[in-house]
Amino acid sequence: MKIARVALDVPLPKLFDYACPEAGERDVGRRVVVPFGNRSLVGIIVAVSAETDVPAEKLRAAGPILDDMPSLSRDWLALARFAAEYYQRPLGEVVHAALPPRLRRPQPLRLATAAYALTEAGRAALPTLPSRARAQRALLERLASGPTSPASLGSPAALRAVIRAGWVGAVPAPRAPFRFVAEHALIAAQAAAVAAITAALDRYQAFLLAGVTGSGKTEVYLHCVAQALARGRQALLLVPEINLTPHLAETLARRFSGARIVTLTSALAANERAEAWLAAHTGGADVVLGTRLAVFAPLPKLGLVVVDEEHDASFKQQEGVRYSARDLAVYRAHAASVPAVLGSATPSLESWAHARSGRYRLLELPERARPGSRLPAVRLVDTRTDRAIDGLSEALAVAIRSRLDRGEQSLVFLNRRGYAPVLVCGACGWTGGCPRCTAHLVLHTADRRLRCHHCGHETAIPRHCPTCGNVALAPFGRGTQRLEETLAARFPGARLLRIDSDSTRAKGRWDAMRGAIVAGEAEILLGTQILAKGHDFPRVTLVGVINADAALVAVDYRGPERLFAQLHQVAGRAGRAQAPGEVLVQTRYPEHPLYQALARHAFAPFAESQLAERRAAGFPPFVHEAVLRAESEDMRHAIAFLQRALAAAPLSQDGIALFDPVPMSLARVAGRERAQVLAQSRSRRALQGFLGEWVQALYGLRSGKVRWHLDVDPIEF
């Protein structure tokens, strides 16, 4: 009897056995349609076996094996298995999170195949074919001379049979070799980095490319990608935001003429995403550029992994399988014996610590790459003496005015969208809160709504106070919409562009805005962190930071690291071309060490002092963490579940610290109360061993209406 062992997307930590007479070893890594309850699900065959523990009367028969794409490789399955074990999720959930949505549906794909070619198994089988298999034989012989388009292969039935047998597979259309277009002569530091990385192209080595803003990290990536491609390999390039992909995709297309570049993000339509994924899978894509989900792209010829802005929190998936794409990217490089390059102007403290310990190799780009371009001068504007009016200090207003006079661009950074973060009644103190979250409703005047930025709940702006009837409700605080109003009033006639997730929501909007910025059609850009990350706007010579002090009062130990990275990144937008840049940071605490370090562009000393604090306090990267979270409509139920979970924890807790259940800092979101238990250990292995046992016990607990999950290496508390 043949048993297919199938990974299914169900929240149980096991594989499911089905009778599958047609299954063979060649089907490992193929999709199969199976009955589950009264549903039909698509799963991945991870093993084929002769036996099963499922009693014969309970064993169900698998439906068809889908052979619409080449099977997933053992390497890819090993990646999924590693992620499942490390993040303590069922393999089926990981596999399904990793597949593009189109492939999770129990229907065969109908994508055009460019060409077919013999597999190794096919080459071996050809001489052994019995002479009566005439059609198959003819087909294999035809393919032995090279990849061939389906149209010229004749009998579809014979083709299906040889694909099923694993003798023939889809391959990309043959094309001319690519050409790398060099645009700049590398400066010395870039050349040294490229030399170090390319010298390691045939083995694993992780590099931390710590390069100041504008130091030409992208150029280093491109040169390394060129070398990997020249060896017939594929490159994986991860960026933290969808917004960063179009520009980089353009650059890649321009610089690698003839190469196939695919983009993988959640913004793609289902078919486009499946096509891009398959292009990676069949080896047709030379470069896969994408956001965190692209870390799961199957890459049979992987030759180089690059993670740009590696410090960015967006690389951590915050729901479902809570993986870190940066960490999985390093795992992949290791598994494939190829280099990983992690780049940032403000590396994460984890990576910085690895570089110090020698686990990663540190490559530094201490200067800007463009001739004549220097790091901007950072000035701290003390708002205790230069009082901000409507958010703007006199110093910043003067600086913007001078840019307008000179025809240069200013960028004003305020990391808060909407008009005002809260609506207040001056008479009774009522504030507009979200009924579903422990959060205020943000005032949006553009469409006259109050909106929750956590759950999306929204209402019309009330005409009077719901508690006392007062009609004079006032906005408190400032968001980008309000600042836009102020700037428009202060600089009449100046061309303003507000850039936040409200103004860029519609597809293509951000791309159009970026074009307008680069073309010089806007004079003052104001916006949130969308503007801070990785963009190159050569006309910007002034950056103004409006209200960063709020973030100084950190809610968790990562607060300072995040704030420094954000401000350093946004400051780095200034003066990227010849004209010198200037950064003004408005603050009430100019003497604060974080601002002092920022003003001196002193990342390394800042990182060292943060690491010293973390070491003293026993925080990552000096300990490893995981949290067990529980969510319920009622906080008491969540806490009670966590208490039972603690009672069910394995008895052997050597080197593991388990803390009491506490509500999360944002306790309620979308009507659900959230609490968690923190587990810490100095040993990653001890923590992994403990979690592995604990999670088994957790699956056995009755949780009622409480939903729970483990988050390994959490970044939210």
What is the separation, in whole angstroms, between the first and last Cα of the chain?
50
Q: What's the min distance (Å) between Cβ of 434 and Zn ion?
A: 3
Q: Is 214 in the site for ligand ADP (CB under 6 A)?
A: yes
Task: Check residue 211 for interaction with ligand ADP (CB under 6 A).
Answer: yes
How far apart are alpha carbons 708 and 642 in whole angstroms?
A: 9
DSSP H helices, 549-602, are 559-571, 593-599
Residue 613 CB-half CA count within 13 A: 13
When asked if residue 70 is in the footprint of ligand ADP (CB under 6 A), the reply is: no
**Of 106-114, 131-139, 211-219, 466-474, which part binds Zn ion (CB under 5 A)?**
466-474
**Cα distance between residue 291 and residue 312, in whole Å:** 11
Residue 211 binds which of ligand ADP, Zn ion, none (CB < 5-8 A, kind-dependent): ligand ADP
Instruction: Identify the three-state secondary structure at position 359.
Output: coil
User: Are 414 and 479 spatial neighbours (Cβ–Cβ below 8 Å)?
Assistant: yes
Does residue number 464 form part of the binding site for ligand ADP (CB under 6 A)? Answer: no
Minimum separation from the CB atom of position 351 to ligand ADP (A): 16
Among candidates 329, 497, 480, which has minimal Cα distance to 410?
497
Contacts (CB under 5 A) with Zn ion, residues 575-614: none
Stretch that binds ligand ADP, among 94-102, 129-137, 152-160, 210-218 (CB under 6 A): 210-218
By CB under 6 A, name the one of 219, 484, 500, 631 that touches ligand ADP. Answer: 219
* Residue 112 C-alpha from the chain's centroid: 29
Stretch that binds ligand ADP, among 113-121, 186-194, 494-502, 599-607 (CB under 6 A): 186-194
Q: Which is nearer to Zn ion, 105 or 457 (CB)?
A: 457
- The answer to whether 428 contacts Zn ion (rule: CB under 5 A) is yes
For position 420 contacting Zn ion by CB under 5 A, the verdict is no
Tell me how far, at minimum, the Cβ of 630 lies from ligand ADP, in Å: 41
CB of 461 to Zn ion, least distance (A): 14
- CB of 311 or CB of 451, closer to Zn ion: 451
Residues in region 431-450 near Zn ion by CB under 5 A? 434, 436-437
User: How many residues contact Zn ion, by CB under 5 A?
Assistant: 15
Question: Least distance from C-beta 84 to ligand ADP, angstroms?
Answer: 34
Place of tokens 């990391």: 415
Least distance between ligand ADP and beta carbon 586 (Å): 24
**Residue 470 near Zn ion by CB under 5 A:** yes
Q: How far is the CB of 414 from Zn ion (least distance, A)?
A: 22
| Beta strands at 449-451 and 442-444: parallel, antiparallel or unpaired | antiparallel
Least separation in angstroms between CB 315 and ligand ADP: 17
State CA 195 to chain mean position distance. 28
369 CB-near residues (< 8 Å, 6+ apart)? 184, 187, 190, 214, 215, 216, 219
Q: Which is nearer to ligand ADP, 66 or 244 (CB)?
A: 244
In this structure, are residues 600 and 594 in contact, taking their beta carbons and an 8 Å threshold?
no
Q: Is 376 in the site for ligand ADP (CB under 6 A)?
A: no
Query: Phi first, then psi: what are they for 42, rounded to 5°?
Result: -105, 135
Could you give the CA distance from residue 378 to residue 395 in angstroms, rounded to a whole number? 13
* Residue 159's binding partner out of ligand ADP, Zn ion, none, with CB under 5 to 8 Å set by partner kind: none
Confirm or reject binding of residue 536 to ligand ADP (CB under 6 A).
yes
Size of the site for ligand ADP (CB under 6 A): 15
In this chain, which stretch among 126-134, 211-219, 354-362, 472-480 interacts with ligand ADP, using CB under 6 A? 211-219
**Interaction mask 354-373, ligand ADP, x per CB under 6 A:** ---------------xx---
Instruction: Select 115 or 465, whichever has its Cβ closest to Zn ion.
Output: 465
- The binder of 425, among Zn ion, ligand ADP, none, by C-beta within 5 to 8 A per type, is Zn ion
Query: Closest distance between ligand ADP and the C-beta of residue 375, in Å?
Result: 11
- Which of these, 92, 8, 15, lies nearest to 47 by C-alpha position? 15
560 preceded by a cis bond (ω within 30 of 0): no
Kindly state whether residue 73 participates in binding Zn ion, applying the rule CB under 5 A: no
Among 48, 54, 161, 187, binds ligand ADP (CB under 6 A): 187
Select the span of 210-218, 281-289, 302-310, 468-476 touching Zn ion (CB under 5 A): 468-476
Distances (CA, A) of 311 to 236, 449, 527, 565: 17, 34, 21, 8
Tokens 């850009």 sit on residue: 525
Binding residue for ligand ADP, selected from 90, 122, 216, 527, defined by CB under 6 A = 216
Which tokens in the block code for residue 529?
A: 């962190």
* Least distance in angstroms from the C-beta of 279 to Zn ion: 40
SS3 per-residue string spanning 124-148: HHHHHCCCCCHHHHHHHHHHHCCCE
- Residue 182: count of CB within 10 angstroms of its CB: 11
From residue 126, how far is each of 359, 494, 671 by CA, in Å? Answer: 48, 73, 63
How crowded is residue 356: how many other Cβ atoms within 10 Å of its Cβ? 15
Q: Which residue has the tokens 């010829």?
A: 301
The CB-of-219 to ligand ADP minimum distance in angstroms stands at 4
Q: Which residue's CB is nearer to ligand ADP, number 119 or number 569?
A: 569
- Interface segment toward ligand ADP; rule CB under 6 A; list 207-215, 289-297, 313-321, 562-570: 207-215
Counted residue by residue, the chain has a size of 717
CB of 298 to ligand ADP, least distance (A): 28
Judged by CB under 6 A, which stretch of 114-122, 179-187, 196-204, 550-558 contacts ligand ADP? Answer: 179-187
Answer yes or no: are the C-beta atoms of 305 and 287 closer than 8 Å.
no
Which listed option, ligand ADP, Zn ion, none, makes contact with residue 369 (CB within 5 to 8 Å by class)?
ligand ADP
Q: State the residue for tokens 């910085």.
A: 352
> CB atoms < 10 A from the CB of 305, how many?
28
Between CA 153 and CA 162 the distance in angstroms is 12
State the minimum distance, in angstroms, from the CB of residue 213 to ligand ADP: 5
> Residue 563: which residues within 8 A CB-CB, separation 6 or more?
548, 551, 552, 554, 594
CA–CA gap between residue 523 and residue 526 (Å, rounded):
10
Comparing CB distances to ligand ADP, the nearer of 570 and 642 is 570
CB of 260 to ligand ADP, least distance (A): 23
Q: For Zn ion, which residue of 36, 180, 430, 717 counts as binding (CB under 5 A)?
A: 430
- Exactly one of 88, 215, 541, 587 binds ligand ADP (CB under 6 A); that residue is 215
Among 212, 288, 299, 425, binds Zn ion (CB under 5 A): 425
With a CB cutoff of 8 Å and minimum separation 6, the contacts of 351 are 208, 310, 311, 342, 344, 360
Minimum CB distance to ligand ADP smaller for 282 or for 291: 291
For residue 477, give the nearest of 561, 374, 540, 550 by alpha carbon. Answer: 550
CA distance to 222, 260, 278, per residue, from 177 (Å): 17, 10, 20
CB of 565 to ligand ADP, least distance (A): 13
Using CB under 6 A, which of 71, 190, 265, 480 touches ligand ADP? 190
Q: Which of 461, 463, 467 is nearest to 428 (CA)?
A: 467
Whether the CB-CB separation of 525 and 506 falls below 8 Å is answered with: no
Q: Which stretch binds ligand ADP (CB under 6 A): 180-188, 293-301, 596-604, 682-690?
A: 180-188
* Integer Rg of the chain from CA: 28
Site of interaction with Zn ion (CB under 5 A)? 425, 427-428, 430, 434, 436-437, 452, 454-455, 457, 465, 467-468, 470
Site of interaction with ligand ADP (CB under 6 A)? 184, 186-187, 190, 211, 213-219, 369-370, 536
